[in-house]
Structure formats: structure tokens, C-alpha cells
Structure 1
Amino acid sequence: MVQIKFLFALLAVMTIVLMGANTVSARDCLSGTFGGPCWAWSGEKCRRLCIEEGHVSGHCSGGMKCRCEVC
């Protein structure tokens, strides 16, 4: 019984995380030069590459992608 409750709780958390990962500002776009997953410690590299691409800034999204702001 405890395992079933744990599985339902895990499913609920994963659903919330995935819904949040898909919520992106309409003004954001994917970086054209960032490769691989964008982890929390990759944030500075993501920002730098987005600025070099001509964007205002950049950030790692919940979907582990580097998103540039104001495209």
C-alpha cells in the first residue's frame, strides 16, 4: 500500500515538473550554439553564449535547454 502511495506521489511531482518545463516565455528561443543539457551550473555559459549570439541574456530552462531572452 505504501508503494502505491509513493508511486502516485512521484507521478504527481513529475507531472508538475513537466508542466513547468513546458511553460516558456513567448519571447525566449533556443540557443543556436549551446550544446548538450543545460544544468544549473551551466547557467553562466548559457548567458554568455546567448549574449554572443546577440540576445539580451539567457538561462537554463526546466527542460534542461539553454533559452535566450528577447529573440
Structure 2
Amino acid sequence: MMQIKFLFAFLAVLTIVLVMVAHETSAYDCLSGKFSGPCWAWDGEQCRRLCIEEGHVSGHCSASLKCWCEGC
């Protein structure tokens, strides 16, 4: 029984840490205002270029097919 409680406590702490890390990294990204349509892997260069034109550091396509600018 003690092992199950320890496992749940460990998983809870791990979940909190992962959520904090995900929030911290996403706090510096924002959606591109110029990129339109889905951002496929082969659109990465266009996404990066548009983000730089918008004044951001760089950009990348996400798994959700959106162009995210870095350094917002």
C-alpha cells in the first residue's frame, strides 16, 4: 500500500514539473501573424523567414500545423 502512495505522489510531482517546463518553453513562442494555412514540415523555411520579418528570433512548424515564432 505504501508503494502505491509513493507512486502516486511521484507521478503527481512529475506531472507538475512537466507542466511547468512546457509552460516555460511555450511562454517564449507565439503564433506568426503573417503565415497563413497549415504549416507542413516542408514549409519550415518560409515559417522561419516570416517570423524573422516579424521581428522574432526564428520560427518552426508544430505538430498542430501552425507556424510558431520564437523569442516573442
Query: Does residue 50 in structure 1 map to residue 51 in structure 2?
Result: yes
Unaligned stretches of 5+ residues in structure 1:
1-22
Task: Note the alpha carbon deviations across 1:9-65, whole angstroms, 9 max, x for none.
Answer: xxxxxxxxxxxxxx6621100000000000000000000000000000000011100
Look at both structures and tell me which one has the larger radius of gyration over its CA atoms: 2
- May I ask how many residue pairs the two structures share in their alignment? 49
Which secondary structure state, in structure 2, belongs to the residue aligned with residue 67 of structure 1? strand
CA distance in 2, matches of 1:60, 1:26: 16
SS of residue matched to 1:36? coil
**1:69 Cα offset (Å):** 0.2
User: Which 4+ residue blocks in structure 1 deviate beyond 2 angstroms?
Assistant: none
TM-score (norm: length of structure 2): 0.65
Unaligned runs of 5+ in 2: 1-21
Identity %: 76
- Larger helix proportion of the pair: 2
Query: Larger relative contact order (C-alpha < 8 A, sep ≥ 6)?
Result: 1
